[in-house]
Structure 1
Amino acid sequence: MTAGYPFSAVVGHDDLRLALLLNAVHPVIGGVLVRGEKGTAKSTVVRGLAALLPPVEVVAGCRFSCDPAAPDPACPDLPHEPVGTVRPARLVELPVGATEDRLVGSLDLERALTEGVRAYQPGLLAAAHRGVLYVDEVNLLHDHLVDLLLDAAAMGRAHVEREGVSVSHAASFLLVGTMNPEEGELRPQLLDRFGLTVEVAASRDVDSRTEVIRRRLAYEADAEGFAARWAETDAELAVRIVTARAALPSVRLPDHELRRIAALCASFGVDGMRADLVVARAAVAHAAWRGREAVEEKDVEVAARLALPHRRRRDPFDEPGLDEEQLRQALRDAAESAEPPDDDPDGPGDGASTPDGAPDGTDAPRGGSDTPPQQPATAPDPAFRARLLAVDGVGEGAPGRRSRARAGFGRTLRATQSRGHGVHLVGTLTAAAPHQPARGRAGAGIVLRRDDIRHAVREGRESNLVLFAVDASGSMAARRRMSAVSGAVVSLLLDAYQRRDKVGLVTFRGTSADLVLPPTSSVEAAVTRLRRLGTGGRTPLASGLLRAHRTLTVERLRDPRRRPLLVVVTDGRATVPLRHDPVEDAMRVAGFLAEDGVASVVVDCERGPMRLGLAARLAVALGGACVRLDELSSDVVTGVVRAARGAA
């Protein structure tokens, strides 16, 4: 087996390595989320950490890695053999396409029904117990699975509920997630569940990049020899982890540093108390890592730099991060609050308490030769809660929260003998019941055959590809109108963010249309491009629709199961022909989209007492719905727009 790339041989990424080491010392911190562009050695560093962790002693034959000195009293593998064995700490990787059964485990219902035993097949959470659980591209993992693994990481236990049978087992692990923000962000409530976060990027320093290449080529030429050259340094880190773990319980967290932490978190306006606790735990771990007996200001500063950036986002489209000067100023301000009040009867206090016993609380589109100098878009109106625009019918796309879909979770509709998700218990028993006399049933059991098994057909929600085609021409460029249009599109983008959609952005003005944002899961990128949007010039509506049609055709080849939803934001006026007549050209292209079964919604931006109704005519040609701009915030039942003629 080829030796892994040594942890110590990684060039740079000091914050990342420190965050991982602190969690190795004190796993209760809550794991690490690593954000960064592709090709920045995120996975390499995480895999290197696993080799530094001390080996674990486990009960021989226990599938749940129970500690012989303190076995789990609820372990499904009880009773245990009184024999212990030592094995290396595991690195378990959770693939993006994993199912809930693969993550938490599943029950063997056939054995449960025929033999009357609670047969349980452990999942990845059990395999990761007392090791590292690594989730690459955690932002692409379905929220339901992210919730499950974060709950297990927080409670140290995994729970499996299947058909009225409950199984619970210990699941304590160091959780590490990596992600590329260009592929979409994690929801803020999920971000907050990770203890620490680190931003990584490739160095722009020539010397550093040269060293990265040199070391990587040396590793590829002789992996074993390269690893041997770094073995001593890695061994020193491994010993230091063990030493810090042993010292952790004796590290004091003085009251004035505890007050500093509380003041610091309050100054950044973070929600809840989780941030305070994470900073406190990370500060204690950092003090233990440095070999100190008590937490100092330096420990608090390091912990805050790692624990607060992802908790400062007040809006889903805010950029995560922490300005160093802001942090230093906050630390200076917190220094005053660190001192106890004058009337404190106990004085300054220097308690030895630790936090662990406390409860957890692109550029704008180009114009044609007839386009006047573009005007920057005005600030958009405030975002509002947009009405639901959904694709009609039932799909089978990626999990999300927009349109109906056949899924592996959600409401159970019926039992089937062929395709389905999980075992339908009632359907299985119903299928087996008529055959019991012929099978010689005796006693209270039931004789089950494989042909009796019925699967559950479930209906959940899928995400869609929402492609916005935004009219940025002169007829839309009035300051008040464009502000309202931009605010509406931001609201729709926020809705797409919450429903886990992919989004794309086409704009048209002057004589051309541009795909300013190819379909992506990064809704934040769409908001950024929209805010840069220039306006003015004529209206090439047909070109905008044709660009949208070409984009959706390509995306259908890339991801055939993800159904598209085209949102055309326009007043319907067309002044630039594609071939002959501007309006008829636009209607003809709309017919192409309708023939392809593309679900469409036209947002009618026409205002004033004299309305031409061109947007409504366009919606008819598209075979979709027309919604006035001021109707987008409707919360009534009719807010669900059946935008396509898709079959179930």
Structure 2
Amino acid sequence: MNYPFSAIVGQDRLTTALLLGAVDPRIGGVLVRGSKGSAKSTAVRGLAALLPDLLSRAGCEYNCPVDQPADLCPAGEEAEVKTMRTPLVELPVGASEDRLIGSIDLERALKDGVRSFQPGLLARAHRGLLYVDEVNLLDDHLVDVLLDAAAMGVNHVEREGVSVTHPSEFQLVGTMNPEEGELRPQLLDRFGLTVEVAAPSDASERAEVVRRRLSYDSHSETFAERFAAEEKQLAERLIKATDLRARVVLSDGWLVRIAEVCAGFGVDGMRADIVTARTAKALAAWNGRTEVTREDVREACLLALPHRRRRGPFDDPGIDEDELDRLLGDDDPEPPQADDPDEGPDQDGPDGDGPDGDGPDPTGPPPNGDGREADGRRQDRQAGPPPETRSDQPESPGQPQEGRTTDHAPAPQNRVEAATAAAAPSLITAPGRRLGASGRRSRGKSRRGAAARSRALRAGESPRAADLALSPTLIAAAARNGMASKGIHRTDIRHYDRAGKQGHLIVLCVDASGSMGARRRMGAVKGAIRSLLFDAYQRRDLVSLVTFRGKDAETVLPPTAGVELADRRLAVLPTGGRTPLAAGLLRAADVIERHARRDPDRRPLLVTVTDGRANAGTGAVGEAHRAANLLAAKDIPALVIDTESGFVRTGLAGELARNLGAPHVELQDFASGSLARTIRLATGR
């Protein structure tokens, strides 16, 4: 028994968004973002109990409407009409592609020699909810399938000699923890609405959450009866709102105002305008009204626009509510007037920009490209870091400014520098001669990639069911037995080797010692690392950040898919102290070993950013070289970004690269994007 939807405390916007998606499934589903323990999954599962029943026919595997059966529906017109609950189908993160889209019926193929289709989760989700918990961790190949089905409303399968198309219209509901990484932009845009949720901060609300949960865990049936009346009211209100939605009027004035808001916020594409309009009508219907109001439009914008303004991994989702109120205005909009070719220009001029139509009023502030005024109100956003942290200030002749250092002066402790502009990163790859986690960086073997070839089983090998090459197996059995049906022998079984792109764990080992601050190099280093983080976001890699300065090294960020977390830690990274290079390399090796025990398929890439000048302790350079030799012996692909500058150079970073068996790249070349397109790292495996 699921936790009652009406018993959820303190998550009004979450429950509203889920209900609106049920009122109008064409809105496109709901994405729920929030930290663990914020009732995301509880709310989604509770919603299913409120949805109205559906009519279908007995034996139908596609949840077809009674009057619109699918072409391959096994239920005939004479089949009994039955009442069924609106399906709630959960897609596990580790599901196979066959389980999602369907596959050939293996039992019938082996028993009867007949190729028939066995429907998957997309068929079961038709006319219902498809729920993906931790949707941001879903493999790319499954995301691609979801995108196609959500866009077309049908699932088209071509595999193993079977060609099938069946309807698959569903409301996509996903939950995610942003700390574990963001969604691909294509999938993010497919969600009509998004909600940010967090645990209540009010002590009384938190106490009530605990009180209700303890009561539910102790006596779930009694607890459900306590909220039965409220659940019934919500279910009835949902049915009424669904029926009323078709009669809701959205005036042309509000439609134009919605378009102005979307344009004012610079939202890409037209999906945002359409979803906002549909959401506003659903809100009006939910509140029992037949006309859309300003509050409906405002709430619809807050649900439909925030995730569509996020263009990069380092951009925070959300919209400025003050700016939204300015764009919406205080009054109801006037209906747009049709242009009359017989009338001349009005008193505002032909372009509506002033008395003479020559542009904006010269006495007012100039407009900028996003439709807002480029005056002092935006100065705080453009100001950047405080003066003492900037690296582009001019120095007075013969006298460094306060807070500045020269190559001959010691760097102050705990200086924080801002990153310079990040250049387009070069692609870093490593040869994939062994199995790796699915991703988008290096080519190699993969558990979930495309089938590259079929082959016979090796001695002692046990194939996974998902890798069974059914057609080649049947062909091999037929060739051995002739036309007689004598069953399948182990020697007939063929197995797919899969190939695709692999993802990596990128460990950034960054020198944060005083030499980085003394020569004002940390800004360029942060810019280069930022470009690597952006690349890791696009390639679906995990990242970890290790820094070394003073006497030891520190794991600033354990392995995570949330590259925006690494960017935030990088932004406040201070410099100062000596250079314990050996400690940094050993800490990076420890991070790699620990993660390998949890995720052995994910291959590491080590990126060391340093000038190679180890000076922490006696024999520091020798210790650093021994640590590098240790990493090389572990066969870890690596790259050294040399931060040394000036006319006189020691070449210590190049020597470190040779000990690591790694390429050696100058910081200025890497940060400027002037390198070749691909940097290939060597590995013995």
TM-score, L = length of structure 1? 0.89
Matched, 1:496 2:541: no
Letter in 1 for 2:147: L
Letter in 2 for 1:431: A
The alpha carbon displacement at 1:453 in A equals: 3.5
**Alignment partner, residue 216 of structure 1:** 213
**Contact preservation (8 Å) 2:437, 2:603:** no
User: Alpha-carbon deviations, 1:552-610, whole Å to 9, x = none?
Assistant: 22222222222111110111111112xx3110011111122222222211111222332
The alpha carbon displacement at 1:537 in A equals: 2.4
The alpha carbon displacement at 1:463 in A equals: 1.2
1:564/1:324 Cα in 2 relative to 1: closer, same or farther (>3 Å)? Answer: same
SS at match of 1:455: strand
User: Alpha-carbon deviations, 1:263-316, whole Å to 9, x = none?
Assistant: 111111010001011101111111111111122222111111100010111322
Matched, 1:644 2:683: yes
1:223/1:430 Cα in 2 relative to 1: closer, same or farther (>3 Å)? Answer: closer
**How far apart in 2 are the matches of 1:494 and 1:147?**
21
**Alignment partner, residue 552 of structure 2:** 512
**Alignment partner, residue 430 of structure 2:** 391
Aligned to 1:428, which of 465, 473, 488? 473
User: Alpha-carbon deviations, 1:144-194, whole Å to 9, x = none?
Assistant: 212322332332221212045321112122211000011111122221111
SS at match of 2:591: helix
Aligned to 1:406, which of 446, 458, 466? 446
Aligned to 1:594, which of 632, 640, 643? 632
**Contact preservation (8 Å) 1:371, 1:538:** no
For structure 1, the residue ranges without an aligned partner over 5 or more in a row are 346-369, 442-446
**Alignment partner, residue 265 of structure 2:** 268
Matched, 1:98 2:95: yes
Match runs of 1:268-347 below 5 Å: 268-332=265-329, 339-341=335-337, 343=339
1:478/1:190 Cα in 2 relative to 1: closer, same or farther (>3 Å)? Answer: farther
Matched, 1:141 2:186: no
**How far apart in 2 are the matches of 1:335 and 1:560?**
60
The alpha carbon displacement at 1:344 in A equals: 6.1
**How far apart in 1 are the matches of 2:218 and 2:229?**
20
Match runs of 1:486-565 below 5 Å: 486-565=526-605
**How far apart in 1 are the matches of 2:216 and 2:536?**
44
Match runs of 1:191-206 below 5 Å: 191-206=188-203
**How far apart in 1 are the matches of 2:584 and 2:331?**
54
Matched, 1:566 2:566: no
**Alignment partner, residue 242 of structure 1:** 239
SS at match of 1:400: strand
The alpha carbon displacement at 1:551 in A equals: 1.8
**Contact preservation (8 Å) 2:582, 2:624:** yes
SS at match of 1:477: helix
**Contact preservation (8 Å) 2:553, 2:583:** yes
**Alignment partner, residue 13 of structure 1:** 11
User: Alpha-carbon deviations, 1:120-165, whole Å to 9, x = none?
Assistant: 1111111122222111000000122123223323322212120453
The alpha carbon displacement at 1:430 in A equals: 5.6
**How far apart in 2 are the matches of 1:593 and 1:178?**
39
**How far apart in 1 are the matches of 2:140 and 2:251?**
38
**How far apart in 1 are the matches of 2:31 and 2:550?**
44
Letter in 2 for 1:292: R
**How far apart in 2 are the matches of 1:499 and 1:97?**
19
**Contact preservation (8 Å) 1:395, 1:563:** no
Matched, 1:617 2:615: no
**How far apart in 2 are the matches of 1:121 and 1:485?**
54
SS at match of 1:192: helix
SS at match of 2:280: helix
**Alignment partner, residue 606 of structure 1:** 644
1:114/1:220 Cα in 2 relative to 1: closer, same or farther (>3 Å)? Answer: closer
**Contact preservation (8 Å) 2:242, 2:285:** yes
**How far apart in 1 are the matches of 2:627 and 2:21?**
56
Letter in 1 for 2:3: Y
Letter in 2 for 1:592: L
The alpha carbon displacement at 1:21 in A equals: 0.2
SS at match of 2:524: helix
**How far apart in 2 are the matches of 1:297 and 1:208?**
30
1:586/1:81 Cα in 2 relative to 1: closer, same or farther (>3 Å)? Answer: farther
Matched, 1:53 2:91: no
**Contact preservation (8 Å) 1:389, 1:643:** no
What is the root-mean-square deviation of aligned Cα atoms in Å? 2.5
Letter in 2 for 1:176: V
The alpha carbon displacement at 1:11 in A equals: 0.2
1:440/1:164 Cα in 2 relative to 1: closer, same or farther (>3 Å)? Answer: closer
Letter in 2 for 1:48: G
Greater relative contact order, per chain length (Cα 8 Å cut-off, separation 6+): 1
**Contact preservation (8 Å) 2:506, 2:541:** yes
**Contact preservation (8 Å) 2:511, 2:549:** yes
The alpha carbon displacement at 1:492 in A equals: 0.6
Q: Quick check: 554-563 or 274-283, which moved more?
A: 554-563
The alpha carbon displacement at 1:219 in A equals: 0.9
**Alignment partner, residue 72 of structure 2:** 75
Aligned to 2:21, which of 20, 23, 35? 23
Letter in 2 for 1:415: R
**How far apart in 2 are the matches of 1:122 and 1:289?**
35
The alpha carbon displacement at 1:412 in A equals: 0.8
SS at match of 2:521: helix
Q: What is the aligned residue count?
A: 611
Aligned to 1:168, which of 165, 169, 175? 165
**Contact preservation (8 Å) 1:57, 1:84:** yes
Q: Quick check: 520-529 or 420-429, which moved more?
A: 420-429
The alpha carbon displacement at 1:232 in A equals: 0.5
Aligned to 2:421, which of 364, 382, 390? 382
**How far apart in 2 are the matches of 1:289 and 1:392?**
56
**How far apart in 2 are the matches of 1:81 and 1:191?**
43
**How far apart in 1 are the matches of 2:540 and 2:558?**
16
SS at match of 1:585: helix
Aligned to 1:231, which of 228, 231, 234? 228
1:409/1:550 Cα in 2 relative to 1: closer, same or farther (>3 Å)? Answer: closer
**How far apart in 1 are the matches of 2:286 and 2:322?**
26
For structure 2, the residue ranges without an aligned partner over 5 or more in a row are 342-409
Letter in 1 for 2:447: A
1:91/1:591 Cα in 2 relative to 1: closer, same or farther (>3 Å)? Answer: same
1:122/1:427 Cα in 2 relative to 1: closer, same or farther (>3 Å)? Answer: closer
The alpha carbon displacement at 1:450 in A equals: 5.6
Aligned to 2:38, which of 28, 37, 40? 40
Q: Identity across aligned pairs (percent)?
A: 55
1:406/1:143 Cα in 2 relative to 1: closer, same or farther (>3 Å)? Answer: closer
